[in-house]
Structure 1
Amino acid sequence: MARVLVAVTGGVAAIKAPHLLRLLRAQGHEVRVLATPRALEFITPLSLAVAAGGEVATEEAWFRPDGRALHIELARWAEVVLVAPATADAMAKAALGLADDLLSATLLAGAKRVAWAPAMNEAMWLAPKTQEHARTLEAMGHALFGPAYGPLAAVGEGEGWGRMLEPEELLERLQALLTPKDLKGLKLLVSAGPTREYLDPVRFLSNPSSGRMGYAVAEAARDRGAEVVLVSGPTTLPAPWGVEVVRVESALEMREAILGRYSWAQAVVMAAAVADYRPAEVSREKEPKVAAEKVLRLLPNPDILKELGENKGPRVLVGFAMETGEGLARAKEKLLRKNLDLIVLNWVNREGVGFGSLENEVVLLLRDGRVLELPRMKKRQVADRILDLVKEFWKG
């Protein structure tokens, strides 16, 4: 966790600052908050202080009676400064090296890392000078989080570029900024979610996979510097930022998408719950309901993971084994039969770790004979443990 200084500047999105501060503290970050005079026209110091759990740094408190200078103190304390919302004015001052207010002086006084969450009208964001300042800040090593496309604050402006990212996404971006890039250079292909095998235009065979495990792997790898392509079956999860997402539905579509990118990949994590069978006959029209018994004839789907293992080469290949019993012997057999480096064994019938859950409890079986039992933990934590082993095989 890090020491985070949240700098709030004068824009309507300042009203989201308390929520952002609470999220940061809930994740374990140590937080302080700075507010410009214009920011305090949108949000009260009390709201910010309660959310931050401490006093608000303002212009009035810039120079202390005992001779201390607040901008020097804040610059030395903060491991990262997150300016949210960031106005065009604040970005311009930083790009030009001005120091005529508490925020610009803090940034010039040696802030270690700086991230900006722009929030302004689209015309202001796209103005040549703003774009020039944004490029200057990036060249200085600052990070830009957004802006996003969406409803703009001014009446009658509709939608456009310039909306501040939501606090939850800012938290994700900050985590990525702070994460060591130990997988930089790795090209990772991940599959996630279920597949659907249609009987007719409205009915299909599938499973309850939410895709959370595969998405967690993709997001963790992105944060650690890998280049990631995520092949996703149907899920309700939002597309992870910074990741190329390929949407598919059926097992055959997933196979085509995976094989089409296999030559690019240096490592593959097959977390998708791919259907084993598909209907032999698919109706173009919705089949009417009948009272009589109906028999379905099913065809086996291609074994994508086995096919990848047969053409593995130097790649790192990770599979998953979902079992209802102990399953250790079956997982070991699958590891060898499909020529994997690692297989992740989990259980569908254990309460709190099955399909759709936020946590998982797995056993990692490695080709060198190691068996690593992980306690119940968040799927993002499981993802990082898997990636630690991917890194080991990739570097080895």
Structure 2
Amino acid sequence: MARVLVAVTGGVAAIKAPHLLRLLRARGHEVRVLATPRALEFITPLSLAVAAGGEVATEEAWFRPDGRALHIDLARWAEVVLVAPATAEAMAKAALGLADDLLSATLLAGARRVAWAPAMNEAMWLAPQTQGHAERLKALGHAVFGPGYGPLAAVGEGEGWGRMLEPEELLERLEAFLAPKDLLGLRLLVSAGPTREYLDPVRFISNPSSGRMGYAVAEAARDRGAEVVLVSGPTCLKAPWGVEVVRVESALEMRQAILERYPWAKAVVMAAAVADYRPAEVLKDKEPKVEAEKTIRLVPNPDILKELGERKEGRVLVGFAMETASGLERAQEKLRRKNLDLIALNWVNREGVGFGSPENEVVLISRDGRVLELPRMEKRQVAHRILDLVKEFWKP
């Protein structure tokens, strides 16, 4: 976790700052907040202080009676400064090395890492001056998150580029910016979500998988510098930024998508809950309901992970085993039978860690005999533990 200084500049998007501050604290980051005079025309110091859990740094408190300078203290304390929202003026001052207010002085006083979340009218964002300043900041090692496309604040402006990214995405981008890039060069193929095996155009066999675990692996690997392709069954999850997402429905479609990309991959994490069976016959039209028993003949789906293990050729293979009983022995046998490097065992019948939960509780079993029992934790944390072991087995 990091010490994050959130600098709020003047703009309508300043009203989102308290939500951003709460998200950062909930994720475990230590936060402080700085607000420019124009920012305080949109949001009150009290709102920011409550969300940050501490006082707001303002121009009035810049120089203290004891002779200490607030911009020096803030620059030394912060591991990263996130300017959100960031106005064109604030970006210009930083790019030019000006230091005539608390924010610009803090940035020039040795802030270690800086990220910007631009928020302005589309014409201002696309202006050559602003684009030039953004490129200058990137050349200095700063990150620029966005802006996004959407409704603009000024009356009559409609939609355009210049809207600040939402706090949830800013949190993800910031954590990716801060993460160690220890997986640079890794090409990772991840599967996630359920599959659907259709009986007719409107009925199908599936399972309650949400895809959260696979998406967490894809996002964590992206943050650590890997190039990631995510093959996803039907989910309600937003496509992760910075990740190529391939949408599929059936097990056969998932198999095809994975095998097509397998030669490219250096590692594969099969987190998808792929259906074991599919209907032997798929009806062209919806079958009317009848008041009688019905028998459906099912045939086995291909074992995708087993196929990958048979043509492994130096790749790192990770599988999942969801069990209700005798899990350890069955997972160990599955690891051997499918030629895996690692398997993650979890239990569907444990409350709070089954399908759809934001948390998981897994046992990681590796090919070298290690059995690592992880306590209950967020799926993103589980993903990082899996990737730590992938890193051990991966040979760049």
User: Fold conserved (TM > 0.5)?
Assistant: yes
| Aligned residue type for 1:123 | A
Alignment partner, residue 96 of structure 1: 96
Residue 9 (structure 1) shift: 0.4
Alignment partner, residue 242 of structure 2: 242
Alpha-carbon distance in 2 for matches of 1:130, 1:202: 51
Alpha-carbon distance in 2 for matches of 1:391, 1:379: 18
- 287-296 or 269-278: bigger deviation: 287-296
Alignment partner, residue 317 of structure 1: 317
1:65 aligns with 2:65: yes
Residue 249 (structure 1) shift: 0.5
Please give the per-residue CA displacement for 1:290-314, whole angstroms capped at 9, x wherever unaligned: 1122221212111110110111001
Alignment partner, residue 385 of structure 1: 385
SS in 2 for 1:365: strand
| Aligned residue type for 2:391 | K
Residue 26 (structure 1) shift: 2.2
- Uncovered stretches (5+) of structure 2, i.e. residues with no partner: none
Alignment partner, residue 348 of structure 1: 348
| Aligned residue type for 1:268 | V
Alignment partner, residue 176 of structure 2: 176
Give 1:173-322 correspondences, 5 Å limit.
173-322=173-322
| Aligned residue type for 2:266 | Q
Superposed CA RMSD in Å reads 1.3
Please give the per-residue CA displacement for 1:109-143, whole angstroms capped at 9, x wherever unaligned: 11100000011111211112111111111111001
Residue 320 (structure 1) shift: 0.9
Alignment partner, residue 75 of structure 1: 75
Across the two proteins, how many residue pairs are aligned to each other? Answer: 396
Please give the per-residue CA displacement for 1:202-247, whole angstroms capped at 9, x wherever unaligned: 1101001011111111111111111111111001111111111111
| Aligned residue type for 2:381 | Q
Please give the per-residue CA displacement for 1:241-267, whole angstroms capped at 9, x wherever unaligned: 111111111111111111111111110
TM-score (norm 1): 0.97
Residue 149 (structure 1) shift: 1.3
Residue 395 (structure 1) shift: 4.2
Alpha-carbon distance in 1 for matches of 2:345, 2:285: 40
Alpha-carbon distance in 2 for matches of 1:164, 1:279: 47
| Aligned residue type for 1:101 | D
Alpha-carbon distance in 2 for matches of 1:242, 1:136: 22
Residue 326 (structure 1) shift: 2.0
Q: 1:52 to 1:375 in 2, by over 3 A?
A: closer
TM-score (norm 2): 0.97
Residue 268 (structure 1) shift: 0.3
Alpha-carbon distance in 2 for matches of 1:330, 1:8: 53
Alpha-carbon distance in 2 for matches of 1:332, 1:67: 65
Q: What is the percentage of aligned positions where both structures have the same residue?
A: 88
Alpha-carbon distance in 2 for matches of 1:303, 1:378: 29
SS in 2 for 1:238: coil
| Aligned residue type for 2:333 | E
Residue 148 (structure 1) shift: 1.2
Residue 329 (structure 1) shift: 2.0
Alpha-carbon distance in 1 for matches of 2:371, 2:282: 43
- Uncovered stretches (5+) of structure 1, i.e. residues with no partner: none
Give 1:4-43 correspondences, 5 Å limit.
4-43=4-43
1:54 aligns with 2:54: yes
